[in-house]
Amino acid sequence: MTASSSAWIPAEPSVDAIRSAWERPLDSLAAAEVPALIIRQAWSPEKCAALVRKMVEKELLYDPNQPIPEKFIQASIPEGYFREGKSGEASQAWDAEVIKSRARRRIDIGTSLGYRGSSQRDFFAHSEETFATFDDLFSDGDSPVDVLYQGLTDLSVDKQAVTAYEPDGRRYGPAIIRAHYGGYTYAPHFDSVRLREKRDDYQVFHFEHQFAGVLVLQNTQLGDQSAQCVLHHCLWEPEVDPWLRKRRFPEYAAENNISNVEVVLEPGDLYFFNTRCIHEVPGVAGDLPRIVLATFIGYSSDRNEIFVWS
Ligand SMILES: O=C(O)CCC(=O)C(=O)O
Ligand SMILES: [Fe+2]
């Protein structure tokens, strides 16, 4: 490691700068020696804005200034929702009242393993639909999904980022676009197909580490506040669970002197972080939804391929 490991601050703003600070950036991210790797302006803000307009035109998202079409009310994902393993039951990740609230809506364009993974047949069929949707959205050949995969490949030094697949060729969703309306909040949590969702019937289960790669397409603004991710210097362990479930992680963090960093991003910025680190995105109920292109990433230092899914 290098001298930069003394402070827990993100590495940025470019692949070259990150690679001169950290010899093997993804190994450092896996060890949580660095909280995040940020590639600033990986895609241009103009392209981000044009993509958002296109998604509204194609009725994949709704314009918050217009009445909400019924189909989006049906399709929205309640805050805090995830399913564990094969049960098909929605787990109560946090407060039931918040889950019932429909004002904070999330619209997904893409296939979520967390949401659909309890049926492999449905999940992989849905993934193929997502490939078709994305081919249509990015028919001009300029895709932020490619930008994300290329950034990850470059940061890996000697590996290749590929869409996750099963031995028989079935493909996972390549990425997901998520629009968060009305101050939708991710309370402190971690993500892991291995440690949390326990999906041992999927290939992505077998990677040692899980990261997220997120490219911001649009932010939400209320006064001088915008919605940004906060990463806590705390890798999940079972003892943290009760605090997460009771929504009392801030107390645990204070008692254990756990520091955190806010990752402040503009449209076009791309960041990668270790999803075993407790993280949150406090909602900001601005006029516009916060919209991101999001992925999960399976990484093992002894494997040549890096699996990307959503
Ligand atoms: O939107 C982000 O920046 C991260 C969201 C997140 O934590 C998640 O999707 O699990
Ligand atoms: Fe997360």
Per-residue pLDDT of the chain (310 residues; tens, 9 = 90+): 444 446 899 999 999 999 999 999 999 999 999 999 999 999 999 999 999 999 999 999 988 888 888 888 777 776 766 666 665 545 544 444 444 444 788 999 999 999 999 999 999 999 999 999 999 999 999 999 999 999 999 999 999 999 999 999 999 999 999 999 988 999 999 999 999 888 999 999 999 999 999 999 999 999 999 999 999 999 999 999 999 999 999 999 999 999 999 999 999 999 999 999 999 999 998 889 999 999 999 999 999 999 999 9
Ligand 1 pocket test, candidate residues 176, 214, 263, most atoms within 8 A of CB: 214
Q: Is 229 touching ligand 1 by the criterion CB < 6 Å?
A: yes
DSSP state of 196: T
What whole-number distance in Å separates Cα of residue 68 and Cα of residue 25?
43
186 lines ligand 1 (CB under 6 A): yes
The pTM of the full predicted model, rounded to 2 decimals, is 0.91
Residue 281 CB less than 6 A away from ligand 1: yes
The architecture of the domain spanning 3-79+156-309 is Sandwich (2.60)
Residue 108 CB less than 6 A away from ligand 1: no
* Residue 294, ligand 1, Cβ within 6 A: yes
Q: Which residues surround ligand 2, an ion (CB under 5 A)?
A: 191
Ligand 1, from 269, 279, 309: best to mutate by most atoms within 8 Å of Cβ? 279
β-bridge partners, 178: 108, 292
Burial (Cβ within 10 Å: 0-12, 13-18, ≥19) of residue 275: buried
SS3 state of residue 86: coil
Which residues, in sequence order, are bridge partners of residue 171?
165
Q: Which residues contact 67 (CB under 8 A, 6 or more apart)?
A: none
Q: Rounded to a whole number, what is the distance in angstroms from the first to the last CA of the chain?
A: 31
Domain range list for the chain: 3-79+156-309
